[in-house]
Structure 1
Amino acid sequence: MSFPTLETPRLRLRELTLDDAPALLAIHGDGPAMRHFGTDPLTTLAEAEDLVRRFAAWRQQPHPGVRWGLERRADGALVGSCGLFAWNREWAKCSTGYELARTARGQGLMREALRAAFDWGFAQMGLHRIEAQIHPDNAPSLALAEGLGFVREGRLREVAFWGGQRHDLWQLGLLRGDWPPRQD
């Protein structure tokens, strides 16, 4: 399968390449901005290159996925990424994850990107359900997910570990029948 490039009014969702490693290092190396992402901040270019390779490997796994780089069309800058992964074909479900550079936040870019990604996932992957796990203190991410139709289903106690400590996460789900969300 060729990589699914998607277009939105302001973004191009495209395959990440090793040329994106410096931008990913800037995003994933921003510890305070990434404190709820679920991994420790990146510290080297080599770690960012490994991240690109891991995202590319998702397409080859038994439970594959896709991770798009979010390129701003106005200037070609990589401002984040989003993806659908851990695809269980039999159950028609997967997980989602996303992050955005601090300088690109508050502009509706991730909402725009996720709408395109979810449209593609429901249509091309035949999904019935998309899941998200979000840190309870990540109010902007919770608001984004709920604004896209996700429903909080429960709190997973101490399910994650990064930054030297265990973290609770909210489990959220979005069903095909709830997509697309109302336009308010």
Structure 2
Amino acid sequence: MNGTERREQILSILKNSEKPVPGVELARILHVSRQVIVQDMALLRANGVEILSTNRGYVTAEGHSCSRVFKVIHTEEQVEEELNLYVDFGGKVEDVFVYHKVYGVIRADMNIKSRMDVKRYLQDISEGKSTQLMKLTSNYHYHTISAEREEILDMIQEELEKRGFLAKLQDYEPVDFWGTSEEA
């Protein structure tokens, strides 16, 4: 099997799987090293294929029709409330990122689309597997949220504002994700 055939096989496996597929499993199935899988993922992404890396493995993007970035701030105790808000309204938490004044944007894929995913994420954090990115920036962080319709994103934004989770963009931040120009 050549590289092109292998990458087609990877896409087929990911599209037909109901759960994330770990890289080591792909390597085992395709009889290649984990590093070959990592290189294949980079090539697939470079060719425009949307593949997300989660803490449980690779998944293909589900083709939601719209997405929006929200800048939020809240306490560590409110993480579950925030993430459940997104999925309860029908949103999917694609990623989390922070804008660090020295390091720039630091991003991690999340792929959270249900309360069960929220629970798993919180369990992984509580078991000490990692720390939340928001701790780097005094609890300020961003999420890319996707949904089937803009109305869902509008409802999410309204609820975030109602709960006091929305944060104002600062002058040093490179992009105004809401498309508005705010006066300083």
TM-score between both structures, scaled by the size of structure 2: 0.28
- Say which structure is richer in strand: 1
- Answer 1 or 2: higher relative contact order, Cα 8 Å, separation at least 6: 2
Larger Rg: 2
